[in-house]
Amino acid sequence: MKKIITILFLIVPFVLFSQKRDNVFGFATSNTFTYCSLQDTNFFNKVIDLNPRILRFPGGAVGNYYHFNGHGYGFDFEEIKKFDAGKFLKRSKGLARDAKIKGHNYDYIDDFIKLAKATNSQAILVANMFAENDDIIKMISKIKNNNIEIVGVELGSELTNRYFFQKGYTIEKYISTAKAYAKKIKDLDSTIKIGVVVAPLGKKGNHRHNVWNKRISELDFYDAIIVHSYAKVIKGTAEYGQMINEELEKGSQGEQFEIYKDRMNYFFKNIFPEEINTYTQLFDKPIWITEWNLQMSKITGNTMLQALFVVNYLLDILAKFDNIELTTYHNLGGRDYSGSIFKNYKESVEIHSTYYPLKILSILFESNEDFIISREIIQNEIKVYKVYYQNKLEKIFIINFSENSFNYFITDFNFVKSYHSSNLYDKADIFGKLSLEVVKNKVNMNNINLKPYSFNYIKVK
């Protein structure tokens, strides 16, 4: 039976970092401009309200084959056949077909520029490493000519995967092209940072991933390493952020999601910190996580569980990992159900459960001030993040993973904004809503009752 827990003290010591890390609040735009129209004022204004600080273009897989000044992504299907042994040829033809149907006879970089300017976002660009031409230089020049700051360039995306290896793509080929691109970019603008692709961890012996990472670690022509991060909470086969097949746990839906929640918290407590620590020891470079999400699945997509995951991920990075320099959530918009915040829905847009929690969290990035953030854990289920500006507490974010509500004692607060639901498996409606409410302090309250399964923002006086 659900009950109310009264919190009297905190039991886990916290850590502090001083920071102004706008680049952590970023979003990838893979497929976004094919399926989400900037003429749709609902979509356009919702993205502006989200307040992204950085946008990624063209995206991951599509970025590997993008050609400047073509229609849409400017795909060269012969190039894709040559370098990709996977399913991207079929996907690219589908994207090109949909772009043609929609009359998109222009380069999607134009839409990207419009969105970046409207949101006052900076840019991170992905280079096509196969074409070996000057497209990335042309992209940089066009973005800069539109007064958009470029934070960095990714030299490819997920080029360690077996689809490229099966076509004969090797680490030595990558290094040769990467060095040449890095020189071109630095010659054009030495302030633009260069990120290189590193391989996933966990392989044994002389696996090609370990060989790749060793070779990259021996070099120093780059500024950061690129990592992709997806938390797997469902049994089954996962591939590049997507569940290919899934095995349901025994028990009710509620019991299944409690298992997923426990695995998710194990990810935050153990798996993710260990991965970041290993990458830091291997490369001693800042880390860019240019794709991250809960492993994409129709079971967990658009649920309260995913909503809590995304804010937990970002707040933990801000509180615990000062070597993670940049992140871009995958993905801003598309036609998928489980990853994108916005989904094309009958020529309009469907909003998913991750939107409102991220919009609440965006308040952190509205100011130009540095802040200090602390993290405290209460009874293993409740995470409290306190934000200080010039040593003054101004904001508190609380994630309640418990099925119980609890009382949080605080004096002098203005209001509490809460996004919550009765169950972790509850899915948002097409407007992105589960339960969203604001409680103002009208009578000098000093006790806030926070709902089960909730993300809460407390504005301190």
Q: Mind listing the pLDDT tens digit of every residue in the chain (461 residues)?
A: 454 544 443 434 444 455 668 899 999 999 999 999 999 999 999 999 999 999 999 999 999 999 999 999 999 999 999 999 999 999 999 999 999 999 999 999 999 999 999 999 999 999 999 999 999 999 999 999 999 999 999 999 999 999 999 999 999 999 999 999 999 999 999 999 999 999 999 999 999 999 999 999 999 999 999 999 999 999 887 665 565 678 788 899 999 999 999 999 999 999 999 999 999 999 999 999 999 999 989 999 999 999 999 999 999 999 999 999 999 999 999 999 889 999 987 778 999 999 999 999 999 999 888 999 999 999 889 999 999 999 999 999 999 999 999 899 988 899 999 999 999 999 999 999 999 999 888 767 788 999 999 999 999 98
- Answer whether 227's CB lies under 8 Å from 198's CB: yes
Measured distance CA(77)–CA(81) in Å, rounded: 6
Dig out the tokens for 281 from the structure.
């020891």
Give the distance between the most distant pair of CA atoms in the chain: 69
* Category of 260 on φ-ψ map: left (φ > 0), alpha (ψ -120 to 50) or beta: alpha
Q: Kindly tell me the burial class for residue 461, based on how many C-beta atoms sit within 10 Å of its own C-beta (0-12, 13-18, 19 or more).
A: exposed
Q: Are 316 and 324 in contact (CB under 8 A)?
A: no
Residue 125: burial class (beta carbons within 10 Å; 0-12, 13-18, 19+): buried
Angle at which helices 135-145 and 109-119 cross, to 10°: 40
Residue pair 405/452 in contact by the 8 Å Cβ criterion: yes
Report the predicted TM-score, pTM, of the whole model to 2 decimal places: 0.94
Q: Which residues of 232-260 are buried (b: 16+ CB within 10 A; e: fewer)?
A: bbbeeebebbebeeeeeeeeeeeebbbeb
Distance between terminal CA atoms of the chain? 35
Helix count (H) and strand count (E) of the chain? 14, 23
With tokens 């030495």, the residue in question is 190
Interacting residues of 252 by C-beta distance below 8 A, sequence separation 6+: none
